[in-house]
Amino acid sequence: MASQDWLEKDFYAILGVPSDASDADIKKAYRKLARQYHPDKNPGDAAAEQKFKDIGEANSVLSDKDKRAEYDQLRAMVGGGARFTAGGPGGAGTAGGFEDLFSMFGGAAGGPREYSTGGYSTGGYGNGQSINLDDLLGQFGAGGGFSGYGGQGGFRSAPPKGQDLHARTSLSFRAAADGETVSLQSADGSTIKTRIPAGVKDGQTIRLRGKGHPGPGGAGDMLLEVHVQPHPVFGREGKNLTVDLPVTFAEAALGATVAVPTLDGGRVKVKIAPGTPSGRVLRIKGRGIKAKSGTGDLLAKVEIVVPKKLSDEAKQAVETIAAQDDSDPRGELYTEAAR
């Protein structure tokens, strides 16, 4: 947006709202006009396209609390929108508002001064006084710096993009791991589809370029926050998947080969070494989350299941094992606790 536009254009009139309009009224007016003048509904209509850009520009200022306050303050200073023009070499100097505005900063209205914008300057050089237009107009939010002479000798800055749009979507655990195409509502109310990349994490924000609010310098971005629903079996640690693997006392004591479920609905077999304790983690390579940075592993944590009921024969067998085992499983615990 040109720095002059803050004074040359009446953003309230562009949106068709009064200067004391509420945020809700501004939002409602913008959405209505954006749908009416959207390029998709007016193909080849240059006037409609320009109108669409103007209302996007007006909304980007009036919908922002700080920008709107600065805009209102600047308009009040110059009596509601006097135009500023900066004369180039040999030009007419300043017109309609510059002298009044600069006088507020301690300068005489008619005294010679140099108006500087980086490598450019305008006006006289009589007393060597210099005012940086970037700094001055920047105090009122009127642009982000000057890039050179404008069409009629004025300085113009690069037009800003529209505001970013915040959105949320929810995915199942499996869809987040594999990637998913979702439908979202854009700033103008239309539906857009986008692909969520494989391996997205819960709470991760994805930036969709050009899918935000329209503006004179192009549309802003959409910031999409992804919520991943928990899985009843699998968990996640970075790119690795986790799963609790129940095994019997006999399988843990004697050793066994058991099947572990995988996220794709299949199973993979792993060996349980004799004497495997509860809590040991078995790593299954390449069965984790597939992401651009690589594929993780599946981490199966052994959980020994103790039977709730034993037959007389089973109970006698366990008692025989207990009688023959003279080790103390808590001995190391007591030693460490005494330190």
The predicted structure's pLDDT at residue 121: 38
The predicted structure's pLDDT at residue 332: 83
The predicted structure's pLDDT at residue 109: 40
Q: Which segments of the chain does DSSP mark as H helices, in order?
A: 5-8, 11-15, 23-37, 46-62, 65-77, 98-103, 133-138, 173-178, 249-254, 312-324, 331-337
Q: What is the pLDDT along the chain (339 residues), one digit of tens a residue?
A: 434 556 677 888 899 999 889 999 999 999 899 889 888 888 888 888 888 888 888 888 898 888 888 888 877 776 554 344 333 433 434 444 444 444 444 444 444 444 444 433 344 333 444 444 444 444 444 444 333 434 444 445 678 888 999 999 999 999 999 999 999 988 778 888 999 999 999 999 999 998 889 888 888 999 999 999 999 999 999 999 999 999 999 999 999 999 999 999 999 999 999 999 999 999 999 999 988 888 999 999 999 998 888 899 988 888 888 888 888 888 888 888 887
The predicted structure's pLDDT at residue 78: 62
The predicted structure's pLDDT at residue 129: 41
The predicted structure's pLDDT at residue 230: 93
The reported pTM is 0.51
Burial of 179 (0-12, 13-18, 19+ CB in 10 A): middle
The predicted structure's pLDDT at residue 4: 54
Burial of 249 (0-12, 13-18, 19+ CB in 10 A): middle
Give all domains of the chain, ordered by start, each with its CATH number.
Answer: 5-138 (1.10.287.110), 165-228 (2.60.260.20), 235-311 (2.60.260.20)
The predicted structure's pLDDT at residue 119: 37
> How many Cα atoms within 13 Å fall on the side-chain side of residue 107?
19
Which of 14, 60, 6 lies closest to 33, judged by CA? 14
Contact call for residues 25 and 68 (beta carbons, < 8 A):
no
Contact call for residues 75 and 29 (beta carbons, < 8 A):
no
Contact call for residues 268 and 256 (beta carbons, < 8 A):
no
For residue 279, count other CB atoms closer than 10 A to its CB.
9
Contact call for residues 221 and 209 (beta carbons, < 8 A):
yes
For residue 185, count other CB atoms closer than 10 A to its CB.
12
